[in-house]
Amino acid sequence: MTKLENPVLMATIGGAQGLRGEVRAKAYTADPTALGDYGHLHSMDGRSFEILEIREMKNVVVVRFRGINDRNAAEALNGLELYIERDNLPDEELEDDEFYYADLEGLEARDDQGVSYGTVTGVFDFGAGDLLELKGPGKRPVLIPFSEASVLEIDLEAGTLLIDPLAAGLVDDPEELSKFTPDKPKKKK
């Protein structure tokens, strides 16, 4: 049983494929067939999975794991999410302006005046572009576009994002920026 300190979701297992214990899986890697390059995959219940074979099939990969040898065992894995430890991701391959989405969670979103708009609690893609979920104390979560216009700078070492609240849709009028404080929500007219 392995408990991950900083898990990163790598794949979600779908249905069984064939009779030999293979499963279809949705890989969240740039190259879906590279899923096995990160070492053993882990479920949140502590199980570890070693990939023996992997191949692409349309928009999923077909995977055979060690110890999963028949269709019944494969069907039991349906819906299981597989993770790796964040430290297993290769940082040396990243460019200066590249990062992993997992590294964004926990960063504080601030504007150029130092006003905090909350902390990044999730990164989502519903098909129309990436969104950051911001949650401030006592506030409901808000989604902002993860674009160059909305997110001006990412400083992982300082733990902050520099955002443009107008471009991010957090304020409607530039004059409202001077009135906004993190403790007092703006009033509707």
Residue that is last in its domain, among 35, 63, 86 = 86
81 with 9, same domain: the answer is yes
Q: What is the CATH number of the domain that holds 33?
A: 2.40.30.60
pTM for this model (two decimals):
0.67
116 with 76, same domain: the answer is no
Q: With respect to residue 184, please indicate whether it lies within any of the assigned structural domains.
A: no
Residue that is last in its domain, among 86, 109, 140 = 86
Q: With respect to residue 93, please indicate whether it lies within any of the assigned structural domains.
A: no
121 with 69, same domain: the answer is no
Q: With respect to residue 60, please indicate whether it lies within any of the assigned structural domains.
A: yes
46 with 82, same domain: the answer is yes
Mean pLDDT for the chain? 86
Q: How many of the other CB atoms lie within 10 Å of CB of 12?
A: 16
Overall size of the chain counted in residues: 189
CA contacts within 13 A on the Cβ side of 56: 8
Q: With respect to residue 81, please indicate whether it lies within any of the assigned structural domains.
A: yes
74 with 107, same domain: the answer is no
Residue that is last in its domain, among 56, 86, 116 = 86
Q: With respect to residue 183, please indicate whether it lies within any of the assigned structural domains.
A: no
| pLDDT reported for residue 163 | 93
| pLDDT reported for residue 179 | 56
Domain of residue 12: give its range.
5-86
Low-confidence ranges of the chain (pLDDT < 70): 1-2, 174-189
| pLDDT reported for residue 5 | 79
111 with 44, same domain: the answer is no
47 — phi, psi (to 5°)? -75, 150
| β-bridge mates for residue 119, sequence order | 108, 135
27 with 82, same domain: the answer is yes
What are the tokens at 22?
């293979």
Whether 10 contacts 41, CB under 8 Å: yes
| pLDDT reported for residue 183 | 47
| pLDDT reported for residue 180 | 53
Q: What is the CATH number of the domain that holds 138?
A: 2.30.30.240
Q: How many of the other CB atoms lie within 10 Å of CB of 186?
A: 14
What are the tokens at 46?
């502590």
Q: What is the pLDDT of residues 95-119, one digit of tens each?
A: 777 778 888 889 999 998 888 899 9
Total H helices, total E strands in the chain = 3, 13
